[in-house]
Amino acid sequence: MEENIANQFLDQLFSDHLQQFLNGIDATLKEKKLELDALNTKNNAMIDGSDENLVHAMQACDNAIMQGHDARDDYQQLLRNWHQLQQHHQHHLQQIENLMKQEETAKLKACYLTWIQRVEGISKEMINGLQVASLPDVLDAFTSLLTINQQLQSTSCQHLLKYVHQTISYWHKILRKILQREFDDVLTKIQWPFLSVQMTSPSLDNQIDCKQQLEKLFSYLLRLQLPEAMSENQSSSSLQPYKPLLAPIDLLVRPLRKRFRFHFYGKKQTNSIEKPEWYFTQVSNWIRDHSQYLQYTIQPILNQNNFENVDARIEFIRGLVVVLVEKVTSDIPLLLSDDYCFSHIIDELLLFENELHNKYYYPIELPSCIAALEDDSVIDKWISLEWKNGKEKINEIISSATAWRPKYKDVAQDCDTSLKFPEATENILTMLILMKERYSKLSSTSYMMQFVRMQLSLLDELYARFVELTKNGPKQLLDQDYSYILNGVNHLIGVLKKWSDQWTIYLQFFLDLYAKEVKLRKGDVKSLEDDSNESEVLKENNDAVEGTIFDGIIGLYNILLDEMLNKLGLVVMQIIKKNAKPYCKQKWLSMQSIRGATLQLSPSACDMLVSVRESLQYYQTFLDSSIFLKFWQRLAQEINEHLYQELVVSNLFNENGAKQLEYDVNKNLFILFREYTHRPDNFFKELKEACVLLNLNSGSVMLLQEILQSATMDLDDNDISASKARASAVAALNEIGIHRMELLTALQIIQLRIDWPKL
């Protein structure tokens, strides 16, 4: 029953719509079926057309493949034909290549022969020129040979170049021999070399003729000058190879070289290793005797021949220096076992070097006699002697009766700066400076470093002697020797600082050494092996190194200076404390005032103030100004500390006692130091501020006590009110001139007044 009712309800509700829906589905199915049939028909037609196109494409591919095979066959046939042709013509190509090589070789041989023919032709010209005695033509031909040599420098034909060199050397020897003979004749006529005593002098006409001949032959010899690459080193000494002398200059030196070897070699009496000054003096005299002639006669000839950059006198000296180096090099190994002779030859050599550089302006880069000393065994011997002599000299200087007297005693007492140092210090510094001047001429930085270390060792030795001399302090209150030792140590420190700081004199020298020493200490030796780059390496090291090589020893001497000042201050303060004892112990709390009388110095303070004044006056006279400045400042601070602790803190005061103390300090003690400063009170802060507090009026004291007690109730309290109280107390003290004293200390000082009410 219920089912029927439901069906009826659904039929009534959906019957019309459902039929329409079903009809729509049928129509859609029919439409889609028609579209599918049309699509199938179209696809079948396309498939039929594609089969025909595919057949045509396959036929075209077959045709292309056939054509490719034909082309390949044609290519292979052409390749076979080319190989056959190549084999056929290979023989002809090889013949052509051989002909081209033969042609190139023929050209090279022709060029080679041309150069040889040119050289041989020039040689023939020179032979002909010599036969007719035409030296100018021969020299022109020789110049042509030199030009050919220059042109062939880039060639790879070493045999040709060797042949040219041999030809040049051959003709050079012949021409030099010819010119040398004529040149020697002219030198004989002008009586060269010029000795100190000439028997006769040539006539004026002869002089003019000789001068003309000299100019001509000198010019000829200049044209014989060989290139440096072909020149042989003229010295067999230990010197490095150097630029050879000009040929005419060498001929000017030759008779002197011969004379030198005659007198100073072999068994001649003049050849004495104990008398090196003989040959140094002889060479010096030769330079002196020939300088004017070289300057006014030879130099113009050089200028006329385009050798303006050559100094005739310097070239002449250079030739003689080489002679000396050979002599020193041969003698010095024999002197290593003889300290006196070894020292003597070094002294004479250095004197000669100074004369060359200072009198004749001989350049330092040219050969030097110092080079004969730059050997490990020689340097070791030299350093050991410098150390031995330096140590003995220090002992001798310090043991002298006048060691601790000022070197410039006539002006020392009237001078307030730099002339109060003792004779011992000045002599030791002079010794060190002379030592530095000797070894600074060495070209090797490593050798110079060894000398600097030796000097530092001597300064260490001197430091030990100073410590021994001053370990017990001054022998008495007024000890002159102790004062001058103080001056000496201070002067020594000043000089060492100058050696470290003055760029133009010592800084670059010692800074370079220090930089290299630091580099070596770190083990980085590789970067210093190349001497050509040494200056650049040192410059880089200087930027990375702080301080100087003398900083360590300067620090030691500064410590010594400070200890000596402390010992001096102790001795002076012992006397002052002894004399101040009655003054500190007098009854300040019961001191009476005399009505109508002005304040006067306390009698018990007289001895103390007299000892202070005498000490200041004495040490101002004998101490250097910079040392005395430190002395009186330390003395003032120690007196301030002593009087504050032993007088102020240890006593009670009434009003009269406080006024008397203030008068004694302000009007008497401060006066003694006013000669040295406008504000002596700056060095007596505690004593001055204590006097201010002890002499306040009673009203101010009551208020100040309240403020100080409030501020010092709980010093560890950091709350806002406590901080404000302390700030207020500090401000109150500042208003009355108290800036250094602590709050609690100020309160304690105020409480030393027995006549003030206590809170």
pLDDT reported for residue 502: 58
| Cα–Cα distance for residue pair 391/146, rounded to 1 Å | 61
* Residue 1: strand, helix, or coil: coil
Residue of 487, 448, 451 lying closest to 466 (CA atoms) = 487
Scan for tokens 């067999």, then name that residue.
236
Residue 378's region, left for phi above 0, alpha for psi from -120 to 50, else beta, is: alpha
422, 484 in Cβ contact below 8 A?
A: yes
The sign of the torsion formed by the CA atoms of 56, 58, 63, 64 equals positive
Q: Which two tokens stand for residue 396?
A: 């001798």
Give the count of beta carbons closer than 10 Å to the beta carbon of residue 6.
9
CATH of domain 562-750: 1.20.58
pLDDT of 759:
58
Task: Give the Cα-Cα-Cα angle 505, 507, 508 (nearest 5 degrees).
Answer: 95
* Residue 669 scores a pLDDT above 80: yes
C-alpha distances in Å from residue 210, one per residue of 133, 207, 289, 370, 426: 20, 5, 19, 38, 58
For the chain, give the percent of residues with pLDDT over 90: 47
Distance CA 421, CA 405 (A): 8
pLDDT of residue 531 exceeding 60: no
Residues whose CB is less than 8 angstroms from the CB of residue 455 and which lie 6 or more positions away in sequence, other chains included? 390, 432, 435, 436
On whether the CB atoms of residues 260 and 253 are closer than 8 A, the answer is no
pLDDT at position 42 is: 62
DSSP string computed for 229-273: GGPPP---SSSPP-PPPPHHHHHHHHHHHHHHHHHHSTT-TT--T
Q: Indicate whether 468 pLDDT > 70.
A: yes
User: Two tokens at 420?
Assistant: 């109060």
DSSP 117: H
The predicted structure's pLDDT at residue 713: 79
What single string gives the DSSP state of each residue in 157-187?
A: -HHHHHHHHHHHHHHHHHHHHHHHHHHHHHH
pLDDT-derived band of residue 522, with 50, 70 and 90 as boundaries? low
Query: What confidence tier does 689 reach under pLDDT thresholds 50, 70, 90?
Result: very high
| pLDDT tens digits for range 536-550 | 544 454 444 456 778
Of the listed ranges 191-200, 518-527, 714-723, the least confidently predicted one is: 518-527
The per-residue DSSP string of 697-718 comes to: -HHHHHHHHHHHHHHTS-TT--
Per-residue b or e along 736-757, where b marks 16 or more CB atoms closer than 10 Å to that residue's CB = eebeebebebbbebbebbeebe
Which tops the pLDDT comparison, 100 or 669?
Answer: 669
pLDDT at residue 14, rounded to an integer: 44
Q: Which of 314, 279, 287, 290 is nearest to 187 (CA)?
A: 290
Segment 700-733, tens digit of pLDDT: 888 998 888 888 876 666 677 778 888 899 999 9
The residue with tokens 């002006």 is 411
Cα 325 to Cα 356: distance, rounded to the nearest angstrom: 14
Residue 150: pLDDT band by 50, 70, 90 thresholds?
confident
Closest CA to 589 of 423, 477, 755: 755
**Per-residue pLDDT averaged across 98-123, rounded?**
84
| Per-residue pLDDT at 412 | 47
Per-residue pLDDT at 560 exceeds 90:
yes
Checking if the pLDDT of 671 tops 90, the result is yes
Rounded to two decimals, the pTM is 0.71
**Is there a contact between 506 and 500 (Cβ–Cβ < 8 Å)?**
yes
Per-residue pLDDT, averaged over 583-609, amounts to 86
pLDDT at 349 over 90: yes
pLDDT of residue 477: 66
Q: What is the pLDDT of residues 31-77, one digit of tens each?
A: 666 766 676 666 565 555 555 666 676 777 777 778 777 777 777 88
- Note the helical H segments in 644-742: 655-664, 670-673, 685-694, 698-711, 720-735
Structure confidence at residue 111 as a pLDDT band (50, 70, 90): confident
For the record, the structure tokens of 200 come out as 């006769």
**705: closest CA among 756, 654, 661?**
756
Report whether 333 contacts 376 (CB < 8 A).
no
Cα–Cα dist 551/263, whole Å: 51
**pLDDT-based confidence at 640, cuts 50/70/90?**
very high
In terms of CATH architecture, what is 379-558?
A: Orthogonal Bundle (1.10)
d(CA 333, CA 653): 86
Residues 6+ apart with CB under 8 A from 204: none
Rg value, the chain, Cα = 54
pLDDT value, residue 18: 44
Among residues 649, 712, 706, 635, which one has the least CA distance to residue 677? Answer: 635
User: Do 93 and 112 touch, CB atoms closer than 8 A?
Assistant: no
Distance of CA 653 to the CA centre of its chain: 65
Mean pLDDT of the chain: 82
Question: For 447-486, b where at least 16 C-beta lie within 10 A, e where not — what string?
Answer: bbbebbebbeebbeebbeebeebbeeebeebbbbbbbbbb
Question: Do 445 and 534 touch, CB atoms closer than 8 A?
Answer: yes
Q: Return the pLDDT at 310.
A: 92
* Percent of the chain predicted with pLDDT > 70: 80
Residue 535 or 101, more confident: 101
Higher pLDDT residue, 526 or 432? 432
Give dist(CA 79, CA 81) in Å, integer: 5
**Residue 269, φ and ψ in degrees, nearest 5:** -65, -25
Residue of 197 and 138 predicted with greater confidence? 138
Q: Which one-letter DSSP state was computed for residue 193? A: S
Tokens 């042989």 belong to residue: 232
